[in-house]
Amino acid sequence: MAVAPTWIVSWSGTWGDPFRGERTISDASELADVLSRRDGGGDAEFMLAAAEAEYPYLSLSVSHDRWYVHYFPEEAEAGAYVIGDDPEAEGIVALPAGSNIEVLAAQLISSAAALRIAGEFLATGTRPAGAEWFDL
């Protein structure tokens, strides 16, 4: 019987918020549990990577129910971000709120889409094919 690979998920909240942690997971239900965590302002940042390697990893930032997802294939590579649900959306959003990380509103996706993408990454360990990506 094959043993499921283990993944490390680390998380943090906005600057100055003590919301931080790390957990080893091995299935989609554990992933969903971790990705449901938020700091006191409804924000969080997550990093998902295989337990035995630094790369590739998936970076997920959320403010309430809007997510920004970025894939980093290896060190010193800019990677790619998921193209958002509404490419016509205008404006710039700080994710998490109050941070110095700003993304275009057109780069944001829903919670369901973020969980699906993270689940695919967990299953394959590669850039999820079930999303449209913009390579940097």
Hey, CA dihedral for 76, 80, 36, 34, is it positive or negative? negative
Q: Which pair of structure tokens corresponds to residue 11?
A: 């998380």
Give the model's pLDDT for residue 40. Answer: 78
What's the pLDDT score for residue 14?
58
Can you give the pLDDT at residue 1?
A: 35
Domain ranges of the chain: 7-135
**pLDDT means over runs of 10, the chain (136 residues):** 60 62 85 86 86 90 90 95 90 76 90 94 92 95
Tell me, what's the pLDDT at 2? 39
Q: What is the pTM of this model?
A: 0.86
Give me the pLDDT at residue 117, please. Answer: 96
* Secondary structure (3-state) at 1: coil
Q: CA-to-CA distance for 7 and 29, rounded, in angstroms?
A: 13
In angstroms, rounded to a whole number, what is the distance separating the alpha carbons of residues 92 and 83?
15
Residue 118, classed as helix, strand or coil, is helix
The pLDDT of residue 134: 94
pLDDT score for 34: 87
- Residue 99 falls in which region: left (phi positive, over 0), alpha (psi -120 to 50) or beta: beta
| Tokens 């959003």 -> residue | 93
What SS3 class is residue 46?
A: strand
pLDDT at 9: 76
Task: Give me the residue label for tokens 């509404």.
Answer: 86
Query: What is residue 27's predicted lDDT score, i.e. its pLDDT?
Result: 86
Nearest alpha carbon to residue 131 among 120, 55, 32: 120
Q: Please give the pLDDT value at position 129.
A: 96
Question: Which pLDDT value is given to residue 97?
Answer: 67
Coil, strand or helix at 12 = strand
What local confidence, expressed as pLDDT, does residue 87 receive? 80
